[in-house]
Each structure stands twice: as C-alpha cells, then as structure tokens.
Structure 1
C-alpha cells in the first residue's frame, strides 16, 4: 500500500485470456479511454501510500494505538494479495471489461465506507474490502490499455502505466499529508469516490462492444478457503500479538493453530491439485525460486522503511503530516528519471550485478538512518530518501526478469502473479512485525534508561522540579517524555541496522540464480508486463 513511497514496479502480466490479441476494436475516443484507465491505475496505486502519513492522525481520532493504526495498511495489503490469484478466474467468468468496471465502482464505494468509518474496526474492514476489489484493477488496467492500441504503440501504453505506478506513490504521501493537515483524514478516501464513478462510467462507455471471451472455469474452492483462512489468521495474529501479549493469550494460540493447519493444508492441496489457484509447482525452477525469495525479502524490508519513516518523523521529530510527506517524497525522483533507462539498458549487463547494486544502495541508506538522532535535519532525511531512490530504480526490473527467466512461456503469467502475491504478503507481514519490534525495543530501552533514576534522590527531585518550572509533576511528565523519545530513537536505529543487514543478505539469494536471464521465446506480453 506509503509517508515514504512504496514505489511499485510495472504492472503484472495481463490475465491469461486477455483480449489484447483481438483485432479490430477501437474505442470512440482513445484519448479519453486512456485517461480513464490511467486514472484508475493512479487512484489504486495512490491508495497504497496515501494513508501512511495520516496514520498518527487516524490513530488519535479513532482512539487507537500506533500498532493498531498499521492495520489500515496491512488489511489493504493482505486482502489485495488474496484477490490477485482470483483475478484469472473472475476474468474468464465475467470478462475483463465488466470486471474492471465493477471493481472500480466497488473501489469508490469502499473508499466512501473508509471515510465514513467512526471506529478503527470499521475502517480496517472497509480498507480490507477496498484492497480486495483493487486486486483485479492492476492487471486489468494493463490488459485494457494494450487492447485499444495497435501493436506498434503497445510499448508506449505499457510505459505510460509504468510511469503512473512510479509517480502515484510519490504523490501519495504529499497529497495525503496536505489533505490531513488542511482538511481531515477522511478526505484521503472521499476523493476516490468521484474519480471512481467517473472512471467506471467512462471506461464502460468507451469500451462498450469490446470483444470478450467468457468461460465457466473450475474454481479451486479448497485452495481459496485455506488461503483466506491461513493468511487471514496469520495477519490477525501479527496485528494483535503485541496488544494480546502474544502466546500468553488464548486468542493468539487459537489463531496460530488455525493459521498453521490452514497453510499446511493449502500447500499440500496446491501441490497436488490439477488446477490450483496458486501454482506452487513453479518453485521447481531455480531462478524463479531465487528471484522470488530475493523479491519478497527485499520488498518486505523496503515496505518496512515506508511504514517506519513517516511514523518516526511525526511521533518523534514532531513533523506535520505534509512535511513528513515532503521529507520522504524524494525517494521517487530517481525512479522516475532512471526507470526508462533501466528498462532499455539493464539487460546488457549481468542482472545479478544490477540487482546487487540496488540492494547495496538500500543497505547503505538503512545504515545511514541507523545513525540518525533526534536532531537530524530535514535536508539529511530528504537526501537519504533521494539516495534510496537509486536502489528502487535498480530493484524491480532486474529481479523480476531473473525470476521469470527460467519459466516456460505458458507459465510466465502465473509466475508473475505468484511473485506479486507473495511479495504483497511479505510487505504486509513486515509492516506488522516492524512496528511491533519498534514498540518492543522502545519499551526495553525506556526501562534501561530509567533503571538508575531514583525517585527519592534529592538531587534528582530538584532536577525534575527545575525541568517542570517548579512543578514536580509536570517536570516528571516532561522527563519521561524525553526518555521515551530517546528510547524510541534507539529502537529506530536498531531496526534500521537490521534492515541494512537484510538488504545485504538478499544479495546472496540473487546469486543463486543462473544466466541466461532472457525470457524464453513465446512469452509474449506476459514477459514484459510483470511487476
């Protein structure tokens, strides 16, 4: 889903029965159709990041903790990931155009429900619905866009969508911060309503009469049920764990058992079913396995950065939402400038080297943040964000190409979808674990910093009184706030030191892959469109 941008890679492969090969269709106004599809993509990707800078405000207004506020991000990400494997089935059942129009309209309705939410539980449920209906929008936007352009211009259409997916996360934190500071957080969701209605009506009108191939495919109900149950239980466990004291809670134990059993059944079923909803047999390919592991671990660490930095800026440095957005937005500058060149020239080099450079850049920026203190200035924060953008620009395309390189042509679309699915789950799980770890380390360091403070020491009492301007109680509160802030900073530094190590470890996974990394003949558009 953020105020650090979680810059997306280019869109995933079109659904298997994409109509892009159907000649003869052209909308009445191709420019209007293009604008509407691009707006839908922009709106969907924007919502991955727009809420991040607003989390402290949302938590305060709804009476929730910082950990609970992260559910706004994780609920969207998990349900979005679960919807991805269903996209192929729904396309074959309902058609690309109808599904896209319905999903876009449902996204607008879910956004309205998010804005109207008066409790954290209601908001999380609405965000989960929003994430689920957003799942099909991403690949379908590419399929529809390709179908309205002649073959010689399809590359331009894909490039346009790729640019939208890079620009939207940059705009998200700035727009979200500006809306939160000048209006109220609800409007970060309300703005989707008119856009969603306009896009759905315009696409339906412009694409009317577009040929569709419908089918009645078999649904893997056992795979779907165990996937939802297993992933859902695991995410709830991660979100509630800190508040419920982990495995001292019966609820957490039950969730752990449900998640473990469901996921074991899911894996066994998907490996043995003839038409699985998630084709786990793709992991028999060496490059796919190495590339997917690298993608998931690196993206999880990257997503953690996107959650922690805006929270830290507002909670510990006192930034407003919009200034947190400005401070983190530079991460998108280099991806916007360099992505076209990476796409053109990266294949001339060993892609393992390119990916390694990306992870080194991300590791270095993490180590830089590990040295931050409470006096760090805006320029330093923004420069580190800018430098991390180099890693982002070099990250997605090489790793995606590596993981798709040894798949058979008919497996490429499924491989792209599976990599996107596990990557999304990795980001969601990382968001919960990172915020939990930050809270825990802050608590530990707060205890260490206060263990030598004696409440009965006359010198200490005099110091506390002086801090409070003669008011002992006020001084004690101010001192505790300063200690808590410092403890949180130490925890922040520790986590970023660990994230830096993780980025370096990921390099080893990339080098398990073996060249050549060129797509196999016959992959078609699927090879070029994955994300």
Structure 2
C-alpha cells in the first residue's frame, strides 16, 4: 500500500482569465507531450534513411520514448510528494525541451534512441500533473468540463502529429519535429509558473523503492529489447534473445515478490485484487497496444510500398481526431449516467469495423478509400479512454487514485511500445511468407506472369530489369497481403476483448467522473 500524502492545502479554483490561461498552458504542455508520441511515425522512413538504418530499427525512435515514459509514470506519485506538483511539472516541461533539442542534434541512430529514452523519462510526470493542476483550477462541479477540455487536447495532438511531422519532414528536415517543442514549452512553462507557483502541494520525504525501480527497469527494458531485436537476430536461435528473455522473466518474478512485500512499493500491485481495476486496465492496455501497432504500420506501408510522401501519409492519419473531438465532450459529460461498459464495447466494435475495412485494402486503393476508416476510427477513440478509465478507477478511495492511474498508464504505455514491436515483426514475417508464395507462381506456365514478362520485354527492358520490376511488384503485393493479415487479426482481437470489459462490476459509487477522468490518457 502506498504511503498517504500529507494534508494538502485546498486552493480555491482559478477565476476568469486566469482559469482560461491556466487551461491553455496545461493543455499546451500535454499537447507537446502527446504530439511527440505520434509526430515521429510518418517521419520514420526519413529518419531511418538519413541515419543509415532499416525501418525496423527506426521504430526504436518510438519504442525507446514509450518504454522510458512508461517506467517514469509510476514514479509521479513519489516525486510529487518529494518535490511538489508545480515544481515537478515545471521541471518535467523544462527537461522535455532540453531533451527535444538533444534529439534534434543527434548525429546517429544510437544517440537519437538514447536522447528519445531520456525525453520519454522526463515526460513521465507531465500528463498526470497537467490533469491534477487543471482539476484544481476548476470548481468540483465543473470537473467533467475540465476533463473534456483536457481530453480534446489529447485528441487534437494525434491529428496534428502526423500532419506536422509529414510537412516538416518533406519541407524542412526531420530534426524540426523535435525543435518544435521548444517554443510551445517556453509558453507553457512561463504561464504555468506565473499562475501556479503559489499553489504548490505540500511535500514530505518518502523513501524511494530503489530495488523495485531497478527491477522494473530491468524486466521492461529486457522484454522490449527482446521484441525489438528478435527479428534482426532470428529470435530464439540467438543467444542474445534467449538471455534477454531469461532476464525479463527472472527480473519480473523478483519484481512481483519484492513489490508485494515492500512497505513503500514503487508500483502498488495490491490494486490487482480489485476486479474493476484489472479488467479495465488490461482491456485498455491490450486495446491500446493493438491500436498503436496498427497506427505505426499504416504510414510505413503507405510510404514504402504505395509511393506516398510523408505529408500525404500524415493527411491519411490526421482525421482520426475529427469525430473524436466532436464526441469526446459528449462522452465526458454522460459517462456518469450511462454504463461505461456499454461505451467501451461500442468503442471496441468500431475499432474492429475500422480494421476489418482496412483488411480489404489492395494496391489500387485510392486516397479516400484509405482515409475513410481513419475518419470512422475517431468515433472509437472518443468512446475509448474516458469509459475505460471510469471502469478502472471506479470504487477506489481518492488517496489510491494516483497510484491506480500511474499503474494503469504504465500498462497502457508499455503495451503501446510492445504493440509497435510485435506489429512490425508480424508484418515483416507475413510479407516474407507471402513473397515466397507469390514468387512460386511467377513462371512461364502462369499466363499473367508470362504476359507481364513479355510486355516488359517488348518495352525494351533487359531480362535483369524485367525480373527487378517483377520483384518490386511482388514486394508490393506481399506487403499489402501482410498488412491485410495484421488488420484482420487485430479486428478479431478487438472483438475478443469485449468480454473482458464485462467482467467489471457496474459502477455504483466511488470515483466520480471527475476523479476518474483525472486518470485519463
């Protein structure tokens, strides 16, 4: 059980212009943070090419940020008690700007991954604390409105991320996807310090669970490294992968034992005794892993095999927030009246529909055919976070909500990183399989293959050029079929997740919508 925080001084809500400026500043910091989880997606081919690595290695730019961020999130409660909400939030914003600059000047992929991990780690407290400070700025009766305003920011950022990332990559250069954080951070930090410096929370010294933290870093880091390097090193035929798997399993076992017996655990595992917590947290984590894995694959496929520029791929990804921005306030204001399990079920069904639609893409699919499922996905996004957070945190006393929010966010972010690695590995493996199957049918006995070969030959191509062209067509088809497999499998998994949501008990009392929303994202 986590230690109780000292008695807090209740600050009066902000009024008028101060509340507006406070909302803008806190939302800007959140925007900058969430933007960085999606802005690099469409820039991966450019970053990988510029730094001379494969696109698979390029995905480390995403996973290194996510893993470090996941490890930092559960520490927010401990660090808040030691340093105070406002001071910790300011430190997080300032360090985020510094590490963003370092990412931009990184000379090679190794350095970039290191700086991205540092950026993810210092960003950990920013999102939970932006919610906490925002809720303290509004009267309790308007907590739902505060969280609806905040959630709209987290939905606009994924819209802007691919668009900005694509435009910057095509028209300036990819380091600017990181430099763009600096002016936003300066504005957010200046306004926040002006308004909130006299509203800091009480602090007291609490012991840090150093061993628990070390074991957490060890097992999460080993597991993610195993997933990222597996394809490259031929999985369990490699001694490195076997070693990483053993380290991850052993460190996880020790972590469980230590956290369940330590007086001040870094992660409060006793929360898993609550059915609503574990069913909500696991449903959120698996669904987010599926969603994020597919979000990474789509722009890679569009740029590598469909001839899209980074800007065009960004335009395909961007509309995911349009309907989400419209529906999110509705969900935020009605989630207390409607069974959140119904909303979550609806979200999973729409996600499944979107992925089923994508599983029917072919290499002739035009811009609008590819974009329509992205627009529909906005509906699923709106009904995803707030109802699942309400389920996860329902019935908890206010003093346990920060620990529960930290743990559920840790699971979600870790699942996102793992989803990226698993999706890219699955896509490449299925593409290799489809490539082998398609190549078998390319022979003189196949009428279609024969006509393509003779057609290219009569156009003046030499035999080597003909075979090169055919191989390119086979590559394109194989990657398309592999993406279809991934989309269809993900759709099925979303359907299978629905019973997990219904294992939760109906919410009767406990965390209100405002408190629950405070753990959102």
Asked if TM exceeds 0.5, the reply is yes
Say which is worse superposed, 223-232 or 242-251, in terms of deviation. 242-251
Q: CA deviation at 1:468?
A: 6.8
Distance 1:452 1:17, change over 3 A: farther
Say which is worse superposed, 310-319 or 469-478, in terms of deviation. 469-478
Paired with 2:491 and 2:60, the residues of 1 have a C-alpha distance of 25
The structure 2 residue matched to 1:492, chosen from 465, 483, 497, is: 483
Say which is worse superposed, 340-349 or 253-262, in terms of deviation. 340-349
1:466 is matched with: 457
Asked if residue 93 in structure 1 is aligned to residue 93 in structure 2, the reply is no
Paired with 1:493 and 1:318, the residues of 2 have a C-alpha distance of 18
Q: CA deviation at 1:397?
A: 1.8
**Quick check: 1:468–1:476 contact (8 Å CA) kept in 2?**
no
Paired with 2:313 and 2:296, the residues of 1 have a C-alpha distance of 12
User: Mind listing any 5+ residue stretches in structure 1 that lack a counterpart?
Assistant: 1-14
Distance 1:255 1:447, change over 3 A: same
2:107 is matched with: 118
1:337 is matched with: 326
Two-structure CA RMSD over aligned residues (Å): 2.6
2:266 is matched with: 277
Distance 1:375 1:218, change over 3 A: same
**Quick check: 1:181–1:320 contact (8 Å CA) kept in 2?**
yes
2:250 is matched with: 261
Q: Could you say what secondary structure the match of 1:52 adopts? A: coil
Q: CA deviation at 1:308?
A: 1.2
Distance 1:61 1:379, change over 3 A: same
Q: CA deviation at 1:160?
A: 2.3
Distance 1:455 1:196, change over 3 A: farther
1:520 is matched with: 510
Q: CA deviation at 1:365?
A: 1.1
TM (norm. structure 2) is 0.93
Asked if residue 175 in structure 1 is aligned to residue 182 in structure 2, the reply is no
Q: CA deviation at 1:314?
A: 1.2
1:322 is matched with: 311
Say which is worse superposed, 308-317 or 430-439, in terms of deviation. 308-317
Paired with 2:167 and 2:45, the residues of 1 have a C-alpha distance of 14
Q: Could you say what secondary structure the match of 2:52 adopts? A: coil
Q: Could you say what secondary structure the match of 1:348 adopts? A: coil
Q: Could you say what secondary structure the match of 1:423 adopts? A: helix
Superposed CA offset, 1:464-522 (max 9, x none): 8518733222222111111011111111111111001100000011121222x14417x
1:508 is matched with: 499
Matches of residues 227-306 of structure 1 in structure 2 within 5 Å? 227-306=216-295
1:6 is matched with: none
User: Mind listing any 5+ residue stretches in structure 2 that lack a counterpart?
Assistant: none
Q: CA deviation at 1:373?
A: 0.3
1:8 is matched with: none
Distance 1:18 1:394, change over 3 A: farther
Asked if residue 426 in structure 1 is aligned to residue 415 in structure 2, the reply is yes
Paired with 2:138 and 2:282, the residues of 1 have a C-alpha distance of 35
**Quick check: 2:85–2:200 contact (8 Å CA) kept in 1?**
no
Superposed CA offset, 1:428-457 (max 9, x none): 101001001101111111111112445999
2:393 is matched with: 404
Distance 1:369 1:27, change over 3 A: closer
Matches of residues 87-236 of structure 1 in structure 2 within 5 Å? 87-151=76-140, 155-236=144-225
Q: CA deviation at 1:32?
A: 4.1
Paired with 2:310 and 2:513, the residues of 1 have a C-alpha distance of 44
Paired with 2:459 and 2:76, the residues of 1 have a C-alpha distance of 60
Distance 1:482 1:18, change over 3 A: farther
The number of residues matched between the two structures is 515
Superposed CA offset, 1:207-243 (max 9, x none): 3333431111011111100000110111111111111
**Quick check: 1:93–1:216 contact (8 Å CA) kept in 2?**
yes
Q: Could you say what secondary structure the match of 2:155 adopts? A: helix
Paired with 1:61 and 1:141, the residues of 2 have a C-alpha distance of 35
Paired with 1:187 and 1:241, the residues of 2 have a C-alpha distance of 31
1:440 is matched with: 429
**Quick check: 2:63–2:417 contact (8 Å CA) kept in 1?**
yes
Paired with 2:123 and 2:7, the residues of 1 have a C-alpha distance of 18
Paired with 2:494 and 2:458, the residues of 1 have a C-alpha distance of 42
1:370 is matched with: 359
